[in-house]
Amino acid sequence: MNSPLLELIFLSEKRKDLLLFLKDGPKTISEIKENLNVGLVAILPQLKKLRENSLISKTGDIYSLAPLGIAIVGRMKPMIDVLNVFGSKYEYWANHAVESIPDPLRERIGELTNCTFSKPPDRTCLFEPHREFVENLMKSKKISGIASVFHPLYPSLFLTFAKNGANVSLLVTSPIYERIKEEYGTELCEFIKFENANFYVCSKKIELAYAVTERFLSLTLPFSDGTYDHIEDVLCFEPQAIQWGEDLFAYYRKISDKLTEIR
């Protein structure tokens, strides 16, 4: 696409919304006005521009995507989703290592639409787990998490969740496993005995940390220089984001070993 065409599509919310709306099929001018909540005076010039550039066609009172429009709109939504994710807080994404997300999941990062961010902890609980994170975990019945950093409260916390009947699956890097084994061996032995608990060890390098439940996804990315960010997490509550989180866990589970006894 040349620059004028990019500007035609993306520099007008009305034109962008029009194209995406017509993706579902031909629409009358009344349907366009009602669904996009626009007046005739506002939408007619946009329809005219899109027709002049062969993106839509008109038959009577019916507007539909032209062949060129069909080809373009099919690729628009994934790009718009990515821009919406990054645009929601561009400074965060620009300063964090997005490349730490595995390629297959990074290609789908647009599925984290409508994400929010955890509130930075105050000085009285600077190094404690985020309150929002723990509160959502406590309400969850299925928990999967990846730990590339160690937190001394996590062994007892996730053991408690397993004791309370939640299905808990944890995946850690080899260095984290060695520390848990050395300092929290009793808790780990008790944890892996539960039928509703699974523990995996990955020998590959993992830089991110995250948890996903049936309620939410919490994602922690390192800063661009590789240092861990304990201040701010990405939070998502949409079904597609939760599925993204489950797929991320499945990605690492395939390259990890399940622990049935302490080695």
Give pLDDT tens digits for 146-169.
999 998 889 999 999 999 999 999
- What are the structural domains, with CATH classification, of the chain? 3-79 (1.10.10.10), 89-258 (3.30.870.10)
> Which residue in 262, 263, 251, 257 sits closest to 107, CA to CA?
251
Q: How far apart are CA 66 and CA 57, in angstroms?
A: 5
Burial class (CB in 10 A: 0-12, 13-18, 19+), 120: exposed
- Amino acid 71 reads A
Q: How far apart are CA 255 and CA 203, in angstroms?
A: 8
pTM of the model: 0.80
129: helix, coil or strand?
coil
Q: How far apart are CA 41 and CA 14, in angstroms?
A: 12
**Tokens 């366009």 sit at which residue?**
32
- Amino acid 120 reads P
Q: What is the pLDDT of residue 44?
A: 93
Q: What is the pLDDT of residue 242?
A: 97
252, containing H or E segment: helix 239-253
> Which residue in 150, 151, 161 sits closest to 191, CA to CA?
161
pLDDT digit string (tens) for 61-106?
A: 899 999 999 988 888 888 888 888 998 889 999 999 999 999 999 9
- Dihedrals phi, psi of 262, to nearest 5 degrees: -70, 125
For all residues of the chain together, what is the average pLDDT?
91
Q: How far apart are CA 94 and CA 88, in angstroms?
A: 12
pLDDT digit string (tens) for 175-211?
A: 999 999 999 999 999 999 999 999 999 999 999 999 9
> Which residue in 33, 35, 30, 63 sits closest to 49, CA to CA?
63
Q: With 60 as the cut, is the pLDDT of residue 126 above it?
A: no
Q: With 60 as the cut, is the pLDDT of residue 56 above it?
A: yes
Q: What is the pLDDT of residue 1?
A: 42
Q: How far apart are CA 123 and CA 54, in angstroms?
A: 58
> Which residue in 236, 227, 233 sits closest to 207, CA to CA?
227
